[in-house]
Amino acid sequence: MIGPVCVVMRHSQIIREIAWTTEEEADSRNWCLAQSPIGWFAQVELQVPLDHSDKSIGTTSIAFLKLSGANATAKSPSIVLIPGGPGNSGVDLLLSSAAMAKQMFGEEYNVVSFDPRGVNNSGPSLDCFSGNSEARSAFQRLHNTGITNASTTSLEEQYYSSSIYGEWCNHAVKTKSPHGYYVTTPAVARDLLTFVEAEGRLAGQKPSSTKLWAYGVSYGTVIGATFASMFPDRVGRMVLDGIVDAELYYRNAYTANVNQADEAMDKFSTLCHSAGSSKCSFWGPSPKNITARLDNLIHQLRNHPIPISGAQTKSLPAMVTYSDLKALLLTAMYTPVAMFPVMAEVLHQVENGNFTALAGMFASTIIPTDANHVIQCSDASRTNSITTIQEFKSYVEYTTRKSKYIGDIYPIYVDSVVCRSFRPQLLDKMLVHGPKIRLDKPTSYPILFTSNTIDPITPLRSAQESSSRFPGSVLLLQEAVGHTVVNQGASICYVEHIRAYYEGVVPSSKITCPKQYTPFLDSPF
């Protein structure tokens, strides 16, 4: 049920700075209200069963945040923004992207987001190391040794050390958090249905007739596709942007993810050259020249790490490695409009002998969270494709072959190998079986899949495959490079089609919106 729980969400800094109403002042829908410069926000905690098939086990709370539309009425549907990850906070996503949400959806709808199970402000939480920061740091030193297969032993070190993490998580569940693994994506899908029905009930609607309106990004597309496969008749509107192949996800198989990464790096060279030396610090007389110089820097650092003493600046010593450079490339691929110019400047500095900007790049990029691993590994607990060192080796060889730029850093970045020692004891209804995320009949309203033409993290092919599994769905493309359409700004064409879709007009599957924002030429939004 939804209750007027006006507690401050403990893990969201912006939330703590908002003056929320008291419990007695909560509005008629039991949301606690506050006004911000961007509009009215409201928060609520939804109590859901830990196990939807056995409510006697108890409940946990799921944190929701709502941004009210200026023209929304009591009967207006709420569009649920489903966050990525796994492990990302939807509360923080909505707080940081409220202006974009209003631009995308207009003022006719309320926009809601939430922290999925085990994330940020929502339960059940699991601290795998039970507060033992020394043990956590020791594991990270043993495991996060740089790019996979950077040395003759790194693959073996990462594989065998991975069991340490799972054993700590299993022990924490056994001794402190008995429901710590009750965070699977199918359970989150049921939580969303519970939310939709609760909102409908408060609005005087028949709960069984209510439908989910949603916009999912990255891993949020797995949540959306899972919801649609479980509840095909409860899809009101669903846009899935930056498509993770859900069937591969549930097998803990990230083989397809890097398939367009090198295309993105080719675009970097082309766009840098086209922009000119005044816009791109790493400019060269041709794209081929830029690529060759980048490849030369990679080769140099692979064979010769650079020590930074810190003596003259009184800073801590550091060693700049090949892994640091690979981390820069990986990070920049997510948001090229914002990050390609930054990457170009760092490459320019490195080429001229200043390696300081690269120091610590790998460590700051590879930041594992318990929520990420626990959700990922619980979902794949019966279908894990990486259980032996040979399977791990084959996976690394595949990604390295597919992408010369990030194929060797991606395995430790996703770090799916840690799942091999997880031992969740979960009921069947908490898991996907097969795993098959597809339907043989249309959903109650067609799903709209969207993708950039080049997505280096969730490639276009994943969107095409996923759309083919849901009869009646359509695929809308945006000419752009980067991960998810919204993170690259979303063109006027794209926004018009999204708004029309929520108003009831499904676009054709042959539309590609023309490029609007160009790295090096357009400012980040």
pLDDT given at position 32: 76
* Domain stop point among 361, 390, 421: 421
Same domain, 390 and 300: yes
Residue 26 lies in domain: 2-124+181-252+435-513
pTM of the model: 0.94
Residue 520 lies in a domain: no
Give 15's pLDDT tier (boundaries 50, 70, 90): very low
Structure tokens at 75: 């009967």
pLDDT tops 70 at residue 298: yes
Same domain, 302 and 165: yes
* Domain stop point among 367, 391, 421: 421
Q: Report the C-alpha gap between 493 and 129 in whole angstroms.
A: 48
Structural domain total, the chain: 2
pLDDT in tens, 168-191: 999 999 999 999 999 999 999 999
3-state secondary structure of 84: coil
With vertex at residue 30, the alpha carbon angle to CA 29 and CA 34, rounded to the nearest 5 degrees, is 100
Same domain, 236 and 283: no
Residue 265 lies in a domain: yes
Give 8's pLDDT tier (boundaries 50, 70, 90): very low
Residue 433 backbone phi and psi in degrees, to 5: -110, 140
pLDDT tops 60 at residue 368: yes
Residue 155 lies in a domain: yes
pLDDT given at position 66: 93
With vertex at residue 232, the alpha carbon angle to CA 227 and CA 236, rounded to the nearest 5 degrees, is 85
Residue 522 lies in a domain: no
Same domain, 273 and 141: yes
Same domain, 369 and 477: no
Residue 430 lies in a domain: no
pLDDT > 70: percent of the chain:
93
pLDDT given at position 28: 34
Range with lowest mean pLDDT among 18-27, 241-250, 393-402: 18-27
Rounded alpha-carbon distances, angstroms, from residue 519 to 96, 172, 321, 326, 454: 22, 45, 27, 20, 14
pLDDT given at position 10: 52
Same domain, 18 and 101: yes
Residue 115 lies in a domain: yes
Residue 87 backbone phi and psi in degrees, to 5: 110, -5
pLDDT in tens, 20-75: 343 333 333 467 776 666 667 888 889 999 999 999 999 999 999 999 898 988 88
Q: Report the C-alpha gap between 50 and 63 in whole angstroms.
A: 14
Same domain, 188 and 156: no
Residue 261: alpha-carbon gap to chain centroid:
17
Residue 519 lies in a domain: no
pLDDT in tens, 431-488: 998 778 999 999 999 999 999 999 999 999 999 999 999 999 999 999 999 999 999 9
3-state secondary structure of 312: coil
Same domain, 278 and 390: yes
pLDDT tops 70 at residue 253: yes
pLDDT > 90: percent of the chain:
82
Same domain, 261 and 345: yes
DSSP annotation string for 269-284 = HHHHHHH-TTT-TT--
Burial class (CB in 10 A: 0-12, 13-18, 19+), 351: middle
Same domain, 330 and 471: no
- Among candidates 432, 465, 469, which has minimal Cα distance to 451? 465
Residue 170 backbone phi and psi in degrees, to 5: -60, -40
**Rg of the chain in Å (alpha carbons):** 23
Residue 454: alpha-carbon gap to chain centroid:
17
Same domain, 282 and 145: yes
Same domain, 39 and 150: no
CATH number for the domain spanning 202: value is 3.40.50.1820
Q: Report the C-alpha gap between 339 and 333 in whole angstroms.
A: 8
Q: Which long-range contacts (CB under 8 A, 24 or more apart) does 289-298 make?
A: 291/265, 291/266, 293/347, 293/351, 294/265, 294/269, 294/347, 297/325, 297/347, 297/350, 297/351, 298/322, 298/325, 298/326
Q: Report the C-alpha gap between 57 and 54 in whole angstroms.
A: 6
Residue 523 lies in a domain: no
